[in-house]
């Protein structure tokens, strides 16, 4: 495979393919395993992720890349094969989460700043050797309008960190996924999400230009423009699609090859239906696909539930969700296909 940043980025958003976000940090995966009553140990995390990476149909037909966590990129399957090799053997690209998580900003209650820039140049060089060809950094933007959250200061600090990270990635021959996640927690309406996401993306592309990041060698991982989970009115898939595309046309340069959405707490089917509605109103200047964590994994996690005898059921559930999102990335999904399965 070509090692050019632009070619890797294009491959990450290949037609009908999307990214499996399997980079849950130890704290997050523990929360997921708690739900299915599985103890989170290095071995159980490995067994679970190995199950997904060995799912042939999903990995070869629907998944372009996998975001890994530091522990996982160093782990081997039960038979000793490095997990990175399993991913590569399926034709998908290994990637790595490099941020160190979001921490409270001093003097700005409710705002967080994502840490992890110290020593990043050296870590990038190591991850490249371990096989990573793309990376991911997530900035977390909460909305609490009554409390002036997010502040302009938070947007500025977070987008500057994203740009510094992106430049370091490109120096190392690694494609940066830039992820400014405006959270859907809260009671705000869809238009508030639009405004906050707009302010975030305008600032983000300012900072990426200022840092001389080559946009052709980047992927954007944003939230959709969507109602807060506790909003009085939940917008339809059509309204989400229309507002999301309107916003991106205003803010995301066409030089960016692809946009891979996070699922952010949407249900599996919502995340698929919304991605489908977005692609159904194309053509668009960029590829629009998925980089889902929860919306790809909730079903396989439940089906597997930590039992070796459920392996095939877990893989079937993963294949189904990956297939549905593959169709949504092409704008060809129909809800009847969910019921048929
Ligand atoms: O808090 P953590 O452990 O960094 O995890 C955040 C998760 O959010 C994501 O960025 C998006 O995941 P979702 O699709 O579940 O929202 C994942 O890549 C990542 O695993």
**Which atom of ligand 1 is closest in space to residue 21's alpha carbon?**
18
Kindly report the CA angle at 311 between 305 and 313, in degrees rounded to 5? 80
Return all residues near 65 (Cβ < 8 A) that are at least 6 apart. Answer: 11, 12, 19, 20, 92, 93, 94, 95, 134
Alpha-carbon span 222 to 216, nearest angstrom: 17
Q: Return the best residue to mutate from 97, 135, 266 for the ligand 1 pocket (most ligand atoms within 8 A of CB).
A: 97
How many other C-beta atoms can be found within 10 angstroms of the C-beta atom of residue 80? 6
The token pair at 152 is 């302009």
Q: ω into residue 150 within 30 of 0, thus cis?
A: yes
Q: Are 189 and 233 in contact (CB under 8 A)?
A: yes
Quickly tell me which residue has 């890349």 as its tokens: 65
- Do the Cβ atoms of 225 and 262 come closer than 8 Å? no
What distance in Å separates the CA atoms of residue 333 and residue 340, rounded to the nearest whole number? 13
pLDDT score for 1 = 79
**b/e map of 89-118 (b: 16 or more CB within 10 Å)?**
ebebbbbbbbbbebeebeebebbbbbebbe
Compute, in angstroms, the gap from residue 69 CA to the centroid of ligand 1. Answer: 11
pLDDT per residue as tens, the chain (341 positions): 789 999 999 999 999 999 999 999 999 999 999 999 999 999 999 999 999 999 999 999 999 999 999 999 999 999 999 999 999 999 999 999 999 999 999 999 999 999 999 999 999 999 999 999 999 999 999 999 899 999 999 999 999 999 999 999 999 999 999 999 999 999 999 999 999 999 999 999 999 999 999 999 999 999 999 999 999 999 999 999 999 999 999 999 999 999 999 999 999 999 999 999 999 999 999 999 999 999 999 999 999 999 999 999 999 999 999 999 999 999 999 999 998 77
Task: Tell whether pTM > 0.95.
Answer: yes
Nearest CA to ligand 1 atom 18: 21
Q: 3 CA to middle of ligand 1, Å? A: 26
- Return the ligand 1 atom nearest residue 264 CA: 16
- Ligand 1 atom with the smallest distance to the CA of 27 is 3
How confident is the model at residue 339, as a pLDDT? 83
Ligand 1 centre to CA of 22 (Å) is: 8
Peptide linkage before 119 cis (omega within 30 of 0): no
- CA-nearest residue, atom 7 of ligand 1: 24
Residues with Cβ < 8 Å from 118, sequence gap 6 or more?
Answer: none
The span from the CA of 298 to the CA of 135, in Å, is 23
For residue 144, the model assigns a pLDDT of 97
Cα 154 to ligand 1 centroid, rounded to whole Å? 20
Ligand 1-lining residues (CB < 6 angstroms): 21, 23-25, 28, 67, 138, 179, 262-264, 292-295
User: Would you list the DSSP string of 173-185?
Assistant: T-EEEEEEEE---
> Using CA positions, which residue lies closest to atom 13 of ligand 1?
293
Asked whether 22 and 49 are in contact (CB, 8 A), the reply is yes
Interface predicted TM-score (ipTM): 0.92
Check residue 173 and give its pLDDT. Answer: 98
Q: Whose CA is nearest to atom 19 of ligand 1?
A: 24
Kindly give the distance from the C-alpha atom of residue 307 to the centroid of ligand 1, in angstroms, as a whole number: 24
Helices (H), the chain: 5-12, 26-35, 42-53, 56-57, 70-73, 83-89, 120-130, 152-171, 190-210, 237-251, 268-280, 294-304, 311-329, 336-340
Pairing mode, if any, of strands 175-182 and 219-220?
parallel
Ligand 1 binding pocket mutation candidate from 19, 20, 22, 24 (most atoms within 8 A of CB) = 24
């Amino acid at each position: 495979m070509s090692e050019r940043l632009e070619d890797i980025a294009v491959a990450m958003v290949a037609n009908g393919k999307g990214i499996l976000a399997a980079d849950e940090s130890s704290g997050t995966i523990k929360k997921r395993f708690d739900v299915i009553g599985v103890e989170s140990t290095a071995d159980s995390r490995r067994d679970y992720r190995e199950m997904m990476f060995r799912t042939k149909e999903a990995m070869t037909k629907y998944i372009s890349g996998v975001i890994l966590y530091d522990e996982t990129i160093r782990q081997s399957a039960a038979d000793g094969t490095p997990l990175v090799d399993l991913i590569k053997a399926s034709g998908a690209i290994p990637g790595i989460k490099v941020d160190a998580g979001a921490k409270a900003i001093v003097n700005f209650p409710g705002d967080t700043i994502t840490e992890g820039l110290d020593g990043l140049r050296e870590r990038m060089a190591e991850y490249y050797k371990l096989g990573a060809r793309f990376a991911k950094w997530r900035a977390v933007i909460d909305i609490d309008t009554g409390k002036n959250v997010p502040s302009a200061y938070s947007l500025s600090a977070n987008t500057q960190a994203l740009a510094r990270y992106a430049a370091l990635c490109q120096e190392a021959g690694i494609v940066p996924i830039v992820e400014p996640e405006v959270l859907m927690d809260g009671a705000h309406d869809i238009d508030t999400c639009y405004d906050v996401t707009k302010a975030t993306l305008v600032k983000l592309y300012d900072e990426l230009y200022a840092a001389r990041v080559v946009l052709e060698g980047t992927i954007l991982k944003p939230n959709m423009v969507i109602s807060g989970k506790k909003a009085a009115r939940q917008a339809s898939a059509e309204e989400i699609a229309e507002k999301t595309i309107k916003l991106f046309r205003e803010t995301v340069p066409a030089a960016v090859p692809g946009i891979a959405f996070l699922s952010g707490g949407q249900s599996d089917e919502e995340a698929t239906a919304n991605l489908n509605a977005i692609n159904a109103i194309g053509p668009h200047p960029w590829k629009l696909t998925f980089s889902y964590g929860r919306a790809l994994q909730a079903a396989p996690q439940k089906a597997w539930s930590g039992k070796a005898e459920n392996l095939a059921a877990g893989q079937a559930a993963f294949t189904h969700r990956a297939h549905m999102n593959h169709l949504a990335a092409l704008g060809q999904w129909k809800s009847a296909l969910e019921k048929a399965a």
